[in-house]
Amino acid sequence: MTQTQQQPAAGSPLVTRGLTKRFRGGQVAVDSVDLEVPAGSVFGFLGPNGSGKTTTIRMLLGLIAPTAGEVQLLGEPMPKAQLRVLPRVGALVEGPAFYPFWSGQANLLRFDAADSTADPRTRKARAGEALERVGLSNAAGKKVRAYSLGMRQRLAIAVALMQRRELLVLDEPTNGLDPQGTREVRHLIQDLAGDGTTIFTSTHLLAEVEQVCTHAAVMSRGKLIRQSSVAELRAELRPRLVVRTPDLGIAAETLKSLGVTDLKTTDETVEGDAVELPIEKFAAALVAADVRIHGFGLERPSLEETFVALTGEGFDVAQ
Amino acid sequence: MSPSSAVAEPVAPAARPGRYPLALFRSELQLVFGRARTWVLLAVLAGVPLLIGIAIKLSGSEGGGEGFIGQVAGNGLFLIVASLGLSLPFFLPTAVTVIAGESLAGESSLGTLRNLLTAPAGRSRLLAAKMVALIVFCLAATLTIWLSGLIVGFALFPVGDVLLLSGTTIPLGEGLLRALGIAVVIALSLLGLAGIGLFVSSLTSTPLAAMAATFGTFIVLGILTAIPQIDVIHPWLLMFRWTSFADLLRDPPYWGAIGKNLLLQAGYLTVFYAAAWARITSRDIV
């Protein structure tokens, strides 16, 4: 498993430098954020609700002006070059927003018409393909008022898919979807990534990052506290030695004598940070001490535990 | 693609066909005229000549009375002029206020403003499209009254050559054209108010608040126009020369007051359009 290292800024489709947003009243929503999204990556932008993800995304897309710092999308400065850059960027910002009195298709046509680079002759055909891709072909003519939240979410993704994009910026794309819909959107993201589109997706769901992302950044209280490839993050996680046994006391003492630190005992297990010894040495020592072993092994903590450790905050964890 | 597999090559920029800046303007017209609300407003306006026509018919008046209303029973063409004149103080401003108040605040409250701006529509172009749609609506509103007045007037009353305010008589065809001219002048008279509405709409995310504020402004201006002690400022007030449209029924038409009115409307429109532009291009869109 080789993981590509972060690429130089020149090739990165999304870079921010010292990006800061201070709202009126002095609240700092985003504090000096330096993002660098590698080309072709699926970049998970992770953080608890209220950590500044959506504000950052709004600044990326030129919807709100940064108090300080800069944004480069596809190598050009935002918001200055937005009319040139944004046609090549598909966006979904803070939940789906549509004209409820229009059909899903009519909504797609309207937003496509707002892009002066979009060819009106192919507009209907492209809307049809986008609806097909998100599984809404049957509801194309239905008023959005009658759509479920999940259908609106998929329609919002269809807006981003109306054209071939080099970069997709998606804010919580699986929000409001049922498990089946969530799976479909994740597959869609992987498909698009397979085509070479760089995808920047915010989420407060760790499962999402574990399943689809190649890279991740973690926001907490407006600050970017970590940014790396998912593989690197995983590699850093020290595995924990877990022994399942009814002889908790003896097991704990034995492990301690072998230099295992951070020992924790639960009803059925003893676990701790394993030192450099080969794992079978621990097994042999436990057996020699007459510990009855029901289970034995190394367990890697999940990303969730790491991120909770990083942010000191809980995450909403899916499933 | 599994999460940890090697990242793919970036996409090459797709070839782009030419530019289509007018598509947004077309779409904007579809948005305004594709809503039931707009057609209800137009239907109400179309009902004005019908209401006046029926009332006059039932009253048994024979024409030759005072003002445009008094002449309707003698010549159905005057129903067009009377209806336009009677809609100007209230019905037309209400309709314009509703559409103008909705324009930007409506997009803002639905959240569709985000989608438009990331499309990207461009803030200046979006504002221009909103303004063009408003102008088209003003014309549609007065032309609706013109058409409805024409139909009802011809159906209920005798029609014939038109006696002008200056005492000369013109043929019916020219009379209809003059009435059409009045419809256009009245539509243009509404543009100052449309500009105010567009600006107010750029300030808020609540369409109803924008409508209320615009209409409130309209009423305050109306009250100021009615206070004789402050007649020094009257020539600068939005509706001071609104009634100048009647000068089109002189022979030859007297353009002085109409010109001043249109200049004043252009002034209001310029000031408030500029303010709306300054607001929309600097505002944080949340």
Average pLDDT of every residue of chain A: 85
Chain A residues whose beta carbon lies within 8 Å of the beta carbon of residue B20: 116-120
pLDDT exceeds cutoff 80 at A185: yes
Flag whether residue A213 sits within 8 Å of chain B, measured between CB atoms. Answer: yes
Q: Which of A11, A88, A110 sits opposite B27 (nearest CB)?
A: A110
Rounded Cα distance between B144 and A69, Å, is: 53
Q: What are phi and psi of A16, to 5 degrees?
A: -125, 150
Comparison of pLDDT for A249 and B269, the residue scoring more: B269
Q: What are phi and psi of B134, to 5 degrees?
A: -65, -45
Check the CA dihedral A235-A240-A241-A242 and report its sign: negative
E strand intervals along chain A: 14-22, 28-33, 36-37, 42-46, 68-73, 76-78, 89-92, 167-171, 198-203, 215-220, 223-229, 240-244, 261-265, 269-273, 295-299
How confident is the model over B47-67, as pLDDT tens digits?
A: 999 999 999 988 877 766 677
Tell me what the mean pLDDT of segment B59-79 comes to.
81
Predicted confidence at residue A285, as pLDDT, reads 84
Rounded Cα distance between B82 and B63, Å, is: 13
Residue A211: helix, strand or coil by DSSP?
A: helix
B111: nearest CA partner in chain A: A97
What tokens appear for A34 in the block? 């330096």
CA-based Rg of chain A, rounded to a whole angstrom?
24
CA distance B282 to chain A (A): 8
Answer yes or no: do A101 and B36 touch at CB < 8 A: yes
Four-CA torsion A150, A155, A159, A164, nearest 10 degrees: 90
E strand intervals along chain B: 162-163, 169-170
Of the residues B4, B25, B103, B118, the best mutation for testing chain A's interface (the one with the most A CB atoms within 10 Å of its CB) is B118
Task: State what percent of residues in chain A have pLDDT above 90.
Answer: 42
The ranges assigned to domains in chain A are 9-235, 238-299
The model's confidence at residue A215, banded by pLDDT at 50, 70 and 90, is: very high
- Cβ neighbours for A153, distance < 8 A, ≥ 6 positions apart: A95, A96, A173, A174, A175, A176, A177, A181, A185
pLDDT exceeds cutoff 60 at A37: yes
Flag whether residue B17 sits within 8 Å of chain A, measured between CB atoms. Answer: yes
Q: Which of A38, A93, A193 sits opposite B1 (nearest CB)?
A: A193
CA distance A59 to chain B (A): 9
Chain B residues whose beta carbon lies within 8 Å of the beta carbon of residue A234: 4
Rounded Cα distance between B243 and B251, Å, is: 17
Q: In Å, how far from its chain's centre is CA A160? A: 17
Flag whether residue B282 sits within 8 Å of chain A, measured between CB atoms. Answer: yes
Of the residues B115, B123, B205, the best mutation for testing chain A's interface (the one with the most A CB atoms within 10 Å of its CB) is B115
Query: Is the domain defined by A9-235 classed in CATH 3.40.50.620?
Result: no
Average pLDDT of every residue of chain B: 89
Q: Which of A4, A11, A97 sits opposite B114 (nearest CB)?
A: A97
Flag whether residue B134 sits within 8 Å of chain A, measured between CB atoms. Answer: no
Lowest mean pLDDT among B92-101, B163-172, B268-277: B163-172
Chain A residues whose beta carbon lies within 8 Å of the beta carbon of residue B34: 102, 106
How confident is the model over A226-236, as pLDDT tens digits?
A: 898 988 877 76
The model's confidence at residue A312, banded by pLDDT at 50, 70 and 90, is: low
Single-letter amino acid code for the residue at B106: G
Rounded Cα distance between A215 and B3, Å, is: 8
Predicted confidence at residue A287, as pLDDT, reads 87
CB A87 within 8 A of CB A118: yes
A6: nearest CA partner in chain B: B7
* CA within 13 Å, CB half, A257: 11
Please state, as a whole number, how many other Cβ atoms lie within 10 Å of the Cβ of residue B168.
11
CB A186 within 8 A of CB A211: yes
Answer yes or no: do B23 and A118 touch at CB < 8 A: yes
Rounded Cα distance between A258 and A256, Å, is: 5
- Nearest Cα to B103, choosing from B159, B20, B191, B32? B32
User: Residues 28 to 47 of B: which have CB under 8 A from any A CB?
Assistant: 30-31, 34-36
Answer yes or no: do B120 and A115 touch at CB < 8 A: yes
Comparison of pLDDT for A206 and B12, the residue scoring more: A206
* A–B CB contacts, 8 A cutoff, strictly below: 150
A76-80, A130-134, A272-276, B272-276, range with greatest mean pLDDT: B272-276
The model's confidence at residue A303, banded by pLDDT at 50, 70 and 90, is: low
How confident is the model over A62-77, as pLDDT tens digits?
A: 999 999 999 999 999 9
- The CATH number fitting domain A238-299, selected from 2.30.140.10, 3.30.70.980, 3.40.50.261, 3.30.70.890: 3.30.70.980
Beta bridge partners of A217: A45, A227
- Nearest Cα to B196, choosing from B135, B142, B276? B276
CB A63 within 8 A of CB A70: no
User: Residues 214 to 273 of A: which have CB under 8 A from any B CB?
Assistant: 214, 229-231, 234
Name the helix (H) or strand (E) containing A121.
Answer: none
Answer yes or no: do A3 and B116 touch at CB < 8 A: no
- Cβ neighbours for B187, distance < 8 A, ≥ 6 positions apart: B135, B138, B139, B141, B142, B143
What tokens appear for B207 in the block? 């369409």
Tell me what the mean pLDDT of segment A258-287 comes to.
80
Tell me what the mean pLDDT of segment A216-237 comes to.
84
CB A35 within 8 A of CB A44: no
How confident is the model over B137-183, as pLDDT tens digits?
A: 999 999 999 999 999 999 999 988 888 888 888 999 999 999 999 99
pLDDT exceeds cutoff 70 at A32: yes
CB A193 within 8 A of CB A199: yes
The model's confidence at residue B30, banded by pLDDT at 50, 70 and 90, is: very high
Flag whether residue B3 sits within 8 Å of chain A, measured between CB atoms. Answer: yes
Flag whether residue B139 sits within 8 Å of chain A, measured between CB atoms. Answer: no
Q: Which of B13, B36, B111 sits opposite A97 (nearest CB)?
A: B111
B113: nearest CA partner in chain A: A97
Comparison of pLDDT for B244 and A205, the residue scoring more: B244
Q: Which of A64, A113, A234 sits opposite B27 (nearest CB)?
A: A113
Residue A200: helix, strand or coil by DSSP?
A: strand
* Distances, alpha carbon B205 to alpha carbons A63, B30, B101, B108, B201, in Å: 15, 21, 10, 5, 8
pLDDT exceeds cutoff 80 at B224: yes
- Nearest Cα to B35, choosing from A96, A102, A108, A152? A102
Residue that the structure tokens 């429109």 belong to: B269
The model's confidence at residue B4, banded by pLDDT at 50, 70 and 90, is: very low
The model's confidence at residue A150, banded by pLDDT at 50, 70 and 90, is: confident
Predicted confidence at residue A249, as pLDDT, reads 85
Answer yes or no: do A119 and B119 touch at CB < 8 A: no
Q: What are phi and psi of B250, to 5 degrees?
A: -100, 165
Q: Which of B14, B20, B111 sits opposite A120 (nearest CB)?
A: B20
Of the residues A63, A187, A205, the best mutation for testing chain B's interface (the one with the most B CB atoms within 10 Å of its CB) is A63
CA distance A145 to chain B (A): 12
* Distances, alpha carbon A233 to alpha carbons A40, A215, A291, in Å: 19, 9, 34
Tell me what the mean pLDDT of segment B94-119 comes to.
95
The model's confidence at residue B10, banded by pLDDT at 50, 70 and 90, is: very low
Comparison of pLDDT for A100 and A24, the residue scoring more: A100
Flag whether residue B252 sits within 8 Å of chain A, measured between CB atoms. Answer: no
Flag whether residue A114 sits within 8 Å of chain B, measured between CB atoms. Answer: yes
Predicted confidence at residue A8, as pLDDT, reads 44
CB B156 within 8 A of CB B78: no
Comparison of pLDDT for B140 and A51, the residue scoring more: B140
Answer yes or no: do A214 and B284 touch at CB < 8 A: no
Beta bridge partners of A37: A14
Answer yes or no: do A97 and B112 touch at CB < 8 A: yes
Rounded Cα distance between B29 and B134, Å, is: 9
Residue that the structure tokens 């003896």 belong to: A250
